[in-house]
Structure 1
Amino acid sequence: MAERIPFKNLHSREYQGHKKKVHSVAWNCNGTKLASGSVDQTARVWHIEPHGHSKVKDLELKGHTDSVDQLCWDPKHADLVATASGDKTVRLWDVRSGKCSQQAELSGENINITYKPDGTHVAVGNRDDELTILDVRKFKVIHKRKFNYEVKLHSN
């Protein structure tokens, strides 16, 4: 069983770098890097040292032309992070180089993204209730489905 540590015994640290509100944060699979996505159209990767008190190293991932609404790390690779943006693109980044290694343009403003546990696919949701699944190896769409939701009002 994991040891429980009371909040009063924890230390906090503030990380500064984004110019606007942060919408998403996520740890990589080995817990050494924390990524954040922001309305400022960037994602940042923070190299976290558990007991380090030195200046925190961060890397800015630039290329999106709208808000980075969500991001997620490859569950098998500690240096690959995927971002979903309102600019209708999904991007895969290699944080060793800071470069976008893959990009796909989808049909709507992307707001959700998650990796399949084996790291082979990402699922992306957009503001128009459309779900898209991409094969990560080719970064091609393999499935797309639109969900139609209706609001029914009932009177008593």
Structure 2
Amino acid sequence: MPEHSLRFVIWTPDACVVDEPVLAARVPTGSGQVGLRPAEEPFVSVAEAGLCLLRREEGLRFAATAGGLLDAGPDTAILYTPFAAVGARGEDVLAALDRVVHSPDSEVVARRRMGELEQRIVRELRYQGPVPRARGPHG
């Protein structure tokens, strides 16, 4: 790995799609693009579906992901996502992502629906107020 690089990894449920040193990376999040560089403070963020840019010594590489969880540390950043396509052209990987997202039988659609269901359950629980505490055998 080059001296001043960040190990960038993308995991899907099926495989490790990317595991390589990068000089810098950009990942889409709900608040905009997050820039990643070596030796930065660790953080965890929700990644949005979209295009990640991986700046390598060999040149730019693109990864389109279906969103997920980004766990970034000073020397390694890992993106956990239900789907990722990687390539040299941003248009190609975005087209692959678009095909998967719009496929009615795709795992991505199922995961999105599960997430929507989880959010609805959380909203309903918040609306109903606090959950009563269970009482022990003595009251």
Q: TM-score, normalised by structure 2?
A: 0.31
Q: Which structure carries more helix by proportion?
A: 2
- Which of 1 and 2 has higher RCO (CA within 8 Å, sep 6+)? 2
TM (norm. structure 1) is 0.29
Larger radius of gyration between Structure 1 and Structure 2? 2
